[in-house]
Structure 1
């Protein structure tokens, strides 16, 4: 196992034992600002030194975030995170802006290799356009405030039949064939969420106000338009997003409506209720691909090894270094993520496993992100690895589909394997309307900044309805329906990070189609795209993967037809 030990990259510019306090950091920033640059070689050396400092700071922040989310009840871990957010980041921000000016102002910047630095330079220019000194304290406040979402939701648990469960653990019972147990579970989870609806509303109202002010300060009418620039959406517009929502409504919602009707008849019900949507309609017990967090990790390693030894070894390295926290427990933040560690060149995977099939797909999704972190780790500058989410999610969502080829590791029974693949493909289709709803809702939220909580709930209702309301009957559960948006972490913590899942889902279907036609070439092209990090445009990265960056109605239709055909083969 010694060979699997992760060693941080050797530091050349900053001290090996650098402690992250401002007194140690300020001289490094000042030196970078004062340094004379007399040639292209000098400028490239300056960029590498700046990159090394940024990587150290990013990894330090990453560990503070990881530890805090692993235990939201530990006040010291929260304080450590808040120290960086309030004492370090606000001081770095203006100096980073000055460093950006120094770079763009250098006469040697224009002489850098365009093919290598085009995307980087474009990003720096955009950051300079958006920077406002008065936004620094607001962004600090936002950073601290939005973490309250995890503290509120991480504390949620329910009692079912005499035992306490986290919401993730309880959700396992929504797959049970006993309808009474499903109903009891859904009502308990829903009641617990609604208990904090006002607290979450109040939190969001504060975030909305702060975000809108950031946009105004930067010269924008609203936060939506600001974020399209801040996220570097150079390749599409809000109008393109609306067209994408319409394409999903037209091409996918009718298919899901048909599937819901098949579900209703198979379960022998007059109406599908929200607690009827996850149970297997065959009448069989829920799929059980693993029994413990360790088994999930070990089987995922084996699955990835079956695809390619390099891919499998990446997860092995993570396990050997303790870079997983996968099991659900009280006090742990909700959700799942792959957090890249900039100096280590490896990531940490966090999730809330409760022994379900969905946990398997979460693991291979985050595993796709992990492979991306490793394979792009040796790119020259830290910024070359700052991925736009349209690229990051292509890596993870493609892996969900490609890895199905080796899911026999999780399912000995061929019928269970077939069920798992069918569930995954149905989930692919189900993902798209939810993405459209969450994205469209955020467009409404931030272009209507003076909304009341009541108006926001009504907007959610009117946006969700045309996409099927999850194809369930919510009669007598109106309040749950109107507050369903509160369970989406992204709305609170990473605003506007959502349509990318839809764009990348289409890309992932196309990658999988290529893989099915020619596994060796399909996997090779996918990995070649991942190696690029963010050194090429999104369009070029998608082309390297052998697919189009396209989310037009005709493309949606073409790829959905392919998924439908693959589903038929599994019948």
Structure 2
């Protein structure tokens, strides 16, 4: 399935069926084609790129349909077919094509600036490829899907209605503390019903991932993933330094905010169900009534920022590229899935009418703009973004959009409340990112750990970054399994520190935005146009900021947020 936005194909037949029997000959043709000049090499690259785009978009739709309804057996089977019958067979052929590229006698005649990032990634992939890892990747993908099926089916009853956990979470903003606690306890009890099965699933994933790392010649999966994710511009020690900086510079600020909340609510101690309610006892903000209104108002906000930005969402709405409302059986979380052939994305989320849903929509909308503006780059690989850049696009949009939030909030006091919550979230993100990332470092450098050791490690790490804000007495199991809510741990390991680095970049961009809106938006769009054709520091530089996650920079940006609060 592809949208009406897809450009005409020049290599893969328009009516191409996507099954192994029909696509294998295309790979064979690429593998065996005679290449007699640099022009023919570039045409080969373009044809390969088109095939990549066709398959990536086909996979995207299978994933979208599966996550939209995790109980739909046909959708699940279609996804599993790709994971078990297509991907494993593509992997060795992709490796063969990579070898053909780097061994081509015409390689040195390619534009070195244009292809530097791409070729760097190809060479790293060749270093990491092991035939014996292919079936392991298939097992891992199927295991990851189990997390979606477990999480997508969780519901609780509140006031006689069956609600998803996302819908129930709205009640955590209720000014009635008894009601908040009751709903929190129900949601927590529902999650804890599955703690053992999720623990077992996570252990199985750790063991499979560790085998992948050992097969590739690494001591542990962490070091393997730093190579596999192409982290050329920073290393393990930079992440450890970031954890330390967050503990020193941000945790005290979050403790201060929590103390202010406690004083305003006149509650001592603060409990987990006291952290989402308005500290002044005001009712929850309701920026929109339903999914359609969320889409329309976000489009209006984006139009005010820049007509191009707004038009991206208009095109998506016209092509039915949204699924935003929470419902039973839908996978948790939210994402922007690029459709590699169409040049547009699909936005998926679980809206329940809250301010958090508004920020999720503008976040995913930032990703969407990135998909559109980089869609004309010549090769599919040029558009496969590093997450440090992708998250800069989305997290910056959260902060840029605040200047136009009167579209959602007609009342000036509500607008101020919404902005304050967003700015607090901008810095509260950092300790949670550090928590999850440090936990992953421990997990994968201790792959043989027991469940008891895992629990002890989580407690220790969580205490360092956030345990002090609230009182968890009598709720120790809930605290112990908070990590199970984070789907990244199950589905995209080590994809999390990027949110921290990108948040710092986003704050720096917002600081520029407050000084010169038009210049900052234009620099932002110029950076997004690059896709992944430059290094991460170079892309940040085009945006008008530095790729800097040092303690000093973190200190300065945290102070900027505090001043604006």
Partner Cα separation in structure 2 for residue 425 and residue 531 of structure 1? 27
- What TM-score, normalized by structure 2, do the two folds share? 0.99
Alignment of 1:219-238 (within 5 A): 219-238=217-236
C-alpha contact (below 8 Å) 2:392/2:505 kept by paired residues: yes
RMSD: 0.7
Deviations 1:265-294 (A, max 9, x none): 111111000000000111110110000000
User: The residue matched to 1:134 in structure 2 has which SS?
Assistant: helix
Aligned to 1:482: 480
Deviation at 1:432, TM superposition (A): 0.1
Match of 1:508 among 501, 506, 509: 506
Partner Cα separation in structure 1 for residue 466 and residue 503 of structure 2? 20
C-alpha contact (below 8 Å) 1:73/1:151 kept by paired residues: yes
Q: Aligned pair 1:348/2:346, yes or no?
A: yes
Partner Cα separation in structure 2 for residue 314 and residue 162 of structure 1? 40
Deviation at 1:120, TM superposition (A): 0.3
Aligned to 1:455: 453
Q: Aligned pair 1:325/2:323, yes or no?
A: yes
Aligned to 1:91: 89
User: The residue matched to 2:394 in structure 1 has which SS?
Assistant: helix
Aligned to 1:335: 333
Deviation at 1:469, TM superposition (A): 1.9
Aligned to 2:550: 552
Partner Cα separation in structure 1 for residue 24 and residue 311 of structure 2? 39
Deviations 1:186-229 (A, max 9, x none): 10000000000011011111111100000000000000000000
Unaligned regions of 5+ residues in structure 1, if any?
none
Q: Aligned pair 1:100/2:98, yes or no?
A: yes
Partner Cα separation in structure 2 for residue 349 and residue 104 of structure 1? 36
Alignment of 1:204-219 (within 5 A): 204-219=202-217
Aligned to 2:377: 379
Partner Cα separation in structure 2 for residue 115 and residue 566 of structure 1? 41
Partner Cα separation in structure 2 for residue 406 and residue 38 of structure 1? 55
Deviation at 1:447, TM superposition (A): 0.2
Alignment of 1:2-401 (within 5 A): 6-401=4-399
User: The residue matched to 1:551 in structure 2 has which SS?
Assistant: coil
C-alpha contact (below 8 Å) 1:247/1:552 kept by paired residues: yes
C-alpha contact (below 8 Å) 1:375/1:530 kept by paired residues: yes
Deviation at 1:470, TM superposition (A): 6.6
Deviation at 1:523, TM superposition (A): 0.3
Partner Cα separation in structure 1 for residue 467 and residue 344 of structure 2? 39
Aligned to 2:467: 469
Find runs of 4+ consecutive structure 1 residues off by over 2 angstroms: none
C-alpha contact (below 8 Å) 1:6/1:317 kept by paired residues: no
C-alpha contact (below 8 Å) 1:334/1:352 kept by paired residues: yes
Deviations 1:116-144 (A, max 9, x none): 00000000000000000000000011011
Unaligned regions of 5+ residues in structure 2, if any?
none
C-alpha contact (below 8 Å) 2:255/2:468 kept by paired residues: no
Deviation at 1:7, TM superposition (A): 2.2
C-alpha contact (below 8 Å) 1:97/1:131 kept by paired residues: yes
C-alpha contact (below 8 Å) 2:210/2:447 kept by paired residues: yes
Alignment of 1:402-551 (within 5 A): 402-469=400-467, 471-551=469-549
* Comparing 231-240 and 438-447, the one that deviates more: 231-240
Deviation at 1:458, TM superposition (A): 1.0
User: The residue matched to 2:347 in structure 1 has which SS?
Assistant: strand
Partner Cα separation in structure 1 for residue 464 and residue 448 of structure 2? 25
Partner Cα separation in structure 1 for residue 30 and residue 301 of structure 2? 46
- What TM-score, normalized by structure 1, do the two folds share? 0.98
Partner Cα separation in structure 1 for residue 514 and residue 523 of structure 2? 13
Deviation at 1:340, TM superposition (A): 0.2
Partner Cα separation in structure 2 for residue 161 and residue 514 of structure 1? 47
Partner Cα separation in structure 2 for residue 356 and residue 49 of structure 1? 45
Partner Cα separation in structure 2 for residue 62 and residue 143 of structure 1? 14
Deviation at 1:6, TM superposition (A): 3.9
